[in-house]
Each structure stands twice: as C-alpha cells, then as structure tokens.
C-alpha cells in the first residue's frame, strides 16, 4: 500500500509540522498521540472510551500478542481490528524493545532472537521474517521492522553491532513483507552516538521505507541527549514521509520532539499515571491520594471538559482510589488520554498559526506550576 501523507504546514520558528496521514477509512492529523494497547486493550478503557478521548489510532504489541493469544487466532477472528472491537487505526511494534527489556532471558544473533517466553517459560526463536509474518497476520494498518534496541549506557562498539544488525533485519523485513495493504516503517537505532544514528537513518532511507521510526530513546539517557539524537537524525529522514518517535513520553518530551519535526508518538504514561492516581491537568499534576483533596469538591481540571471532569469531584475520585474501586482507574486514565489529545490538538493549531514555540513555552510553564 502506498503511503498517503502530506505536510500541510511548518512552523515559522521551528521544525514543527502539521500533517495529514490517510489510513484505510480515516484521516489522521499529525502530530498525533497514540494510546498504548499492548495486549489489544488500552488498560481500564473500552474501545468506546478510547474513541471518546479523540484518539484515532492506538498501538498494540505484536510480540505480546503472538505469545498470547497467538497471531493465528487473531487472524482467524478476522484480524486485530475485529478481534479487539476497534474501528480506528492500529500500529504494531515488532518487539525489539521487548527483547531489550528481557535482556537476561534472550540470546541475540544475526539470524534472530532466542528467548524464554515470560508467559509459559518455553524457549522460542524469532527472526525478522517471522516477526513480519506475525504482523501480517495481525493485520494492523502500520507495522514495524524488527530491530535491536541496546541498553543505556552502552559501548559504541555494542551500538555499532546493533545498528548493523538492525539494518540487516530491516532489509529482510522488506523482502518478507507480504501484506501490501499494510505500511511498513523502518526503525533508526544507534543509542546516543550521532554518527551511528546518521548512518542508520541514511541506510534505511536508501531502502525506501514508507515511514521511519526513531527507537532506542527514553531508555535512561535523559532529555538533553534524547533531543541531541533527534536533532542529528531528523535532517536525514525524508520530509515527505512520517516520523515516529517510539515510546515517548511526558508532555515536555513530546513537545520537544514536535519542535524537531516528529509526527507520531506513543507512550503508556497517561494510562500508567492514571492507574496510579496521578492526573495531568492544565495547572500541573494532581496526585489524588494527597490528603488535601479529601473534601475538595472541584473537578480534576477546571479547564477540562472530559467526562471525568464534567461529572466528578476530586473528593469522590480520591474516595475511589482509597476504596480500591476500578472506576477510579478508568476515570483517571480517560482524563489523562483526553489531556494528551487536547495537547496535540492545540499543538497542531499553534503550528498552523506559526506560533508553536510560544505555545510550548506557555503550556509547559502552566504544567509546572
């Protein structure tokens, strides 16, 4: 499938850009935030909840779904969209990050990755060809090439070997990609070494992927180094194709990356923080278990019009968390995803006006108050 992506506006003072990504039955405006539904569900939220937050695309993880319930079961059910009851768009991560996070249980070679399943302990072997086949069977709209993500810090030689392997695997993914209705992205690796990032980006562009992801960041390197890697990578990626920063992040991280020309983001932050009673609001974070909220009849965020803020007080929300009621997790997760989607909407509008830098400064200033 040929990718249909257009850059509609570029900010006057930064590289921030406003775009339009057409996928199957819908148009997605970028920059876009994609809630994470690792196991085929955004935790504590129904697909209808997710739709009501304004989300049009979610991320699921092919690695986890191939372990349980298995990609063949999903394919037999009519594909991932039908299986999970989501009529929006879906992107799947191929599992390179999961291999990194299970470092003690994995053995990486040029052929692929041998690992012990965290589900049942069985030894399994995944290759780029197999991970591409799994994603083809799942049927997401956008899929990822299999890559090797290294830990931070690491030696430059270790990162160089991983880049070489990532490029080799990317080529094999392209060759084995059978479902041409799906869009395949390559992933730039290289840890915090500029030359390796640039080398990886240049080689992936020569392979002519339909979009490009930037992986291996937000793994402990910090905000300064992450932005430095984005600065040195973005200029080597095609302007006419979408750029996706994987697994990032907090509002400040996302807006830093938007400023540098990134179009797509996913992260567990809004839902994970929500399940732990931490809400993002226009006046800063609210940690609902703090005693100051026990008789607070104000909404979570007085400037938010989401279902949670229209209907419930901070006192009631605190009661839900103290009582261990699942509804509290749902209401907080719903609000946080709404907050992130509103942030992205306002970012897109500011880019259209050519005022992204001012928007970012004001937004983050209020968030830290």
Active site residues: 93, 266
CB 334 within 8 A of CB 308: yes
What is the rounded distance in angstroms from the CA atom of residue 121 to the CA atom of residue 237?
40
Kind and range of the H or E element at 197? Answer: helix 194-207
- Per-residue CA distances from 367 to 60, 113, 252, 354 (Å): 29, 42, 9, 22
* Start-to-end CA span in the chain (Å): 46
What is the C-alpha to C-alpha distance for residues 6 and 265, in angstroms, rounded to an integer?
A: 17
Number of H helices, E strands in the chain: 15, 16
Strand partners for 266? 34
For helices 326-353 and 356-368, the axis angle rounded to 10 degrees is: 150
- Provide the CB-side half-sphere exposure for 8 (13 A, CA): 18
Compute how many other C-beta atoms are within 10 angstroms of the C-beta atom of residue 149.
24
For residue 277, which phi and psi values (nearest 5 degrees)? 75, 25
| Whole-angstrom distance, CA of residue 211 vs CA of residue 30 | 14
The H-or-E segment that residue 330 falls in is helix 326-353
The residues near 291 (Cβ < 8 Å, ≥ 6 apart) are none
Nearest residue to 166 via CA among 113, 120, 89, 226? 113
Question: Which residues, 6 or more positions from 275, have their beta carbon under 8 angstroms from its beta carbon?
Answer: 43, 44, 329, 332, 333
């Amino acid at each position: 499938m040929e990718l249909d992506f257009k850059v509609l506006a570029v900010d006057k003072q930064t590289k921030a850009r406003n775009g339009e990504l057409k996928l199957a039955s819908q148009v997605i405006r970028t920059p876009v935030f994609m809630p994470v539904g690792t196991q085929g569900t955004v935790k504590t939220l129904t697909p209808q909840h997710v739709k009501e937050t304004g989300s049009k695309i979610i991320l699921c993880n092919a690695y986890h779904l191939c372990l349980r319930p298995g990609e063949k079961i999903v394919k037999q059910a009519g594909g991932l969209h039908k299986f999970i009851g989501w009529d929006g768009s879906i992107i799947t991560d191929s599992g390179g990050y999961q291999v990194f996070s299970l470092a003690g249980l994995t053995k990486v070679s040029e052929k692929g990755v041998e690992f012990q399943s965290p589900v049942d302990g069985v030894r399994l072997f995944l290759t780029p060809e197999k991970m591409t086949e799994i994603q083809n069977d799942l049927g997401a709209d956008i899929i990822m090439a299999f890559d090797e993500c290294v830990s931070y810090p690491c030696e430059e030689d270790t990162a160089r070997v991983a880049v070489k392997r990532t490029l080799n695997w990317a080529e094999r993914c392209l060759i084995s990609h059978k479902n041409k209705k799906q869009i395949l992205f390559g992933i730039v690796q290289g840890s915090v070494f500029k030359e390796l990032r640039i080398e990886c980006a240049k080689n992936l562009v020569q392979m002519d992927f339909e979009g490009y992801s930037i992986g291996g960041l937000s793994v402990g390197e910090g905000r300064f180094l992450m932005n430095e890697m984005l600065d040195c990578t973005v200029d080597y990626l095609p302007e006419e194709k979408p750029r996706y920063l994987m697994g990032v992040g907090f509002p400040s991280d996302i807006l830093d990356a938007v400023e540098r020309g990134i179009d797509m983001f996913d992260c567990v932050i809004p839902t994970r923080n929500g399940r732990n009673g931490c809400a993002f609001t226009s006046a800063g974070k609210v940690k609902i278990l703090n005693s100051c909220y026990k008789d607070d009849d104000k909404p979570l965020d007085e400037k938010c019009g989401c279902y949670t803020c229209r209907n419930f007080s901070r006192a009631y929300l605190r009661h839900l968390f103290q009582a261990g009621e699942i509804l509290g997790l749902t209401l907080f997760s719903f609000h946080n995803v709404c907050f992130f989607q509103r942030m992205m909407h306002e970012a897109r509008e500011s880019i259209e006006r050519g005022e992204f830098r001012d928007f970012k400064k004001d937004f983050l200033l209020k968030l830290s108050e």
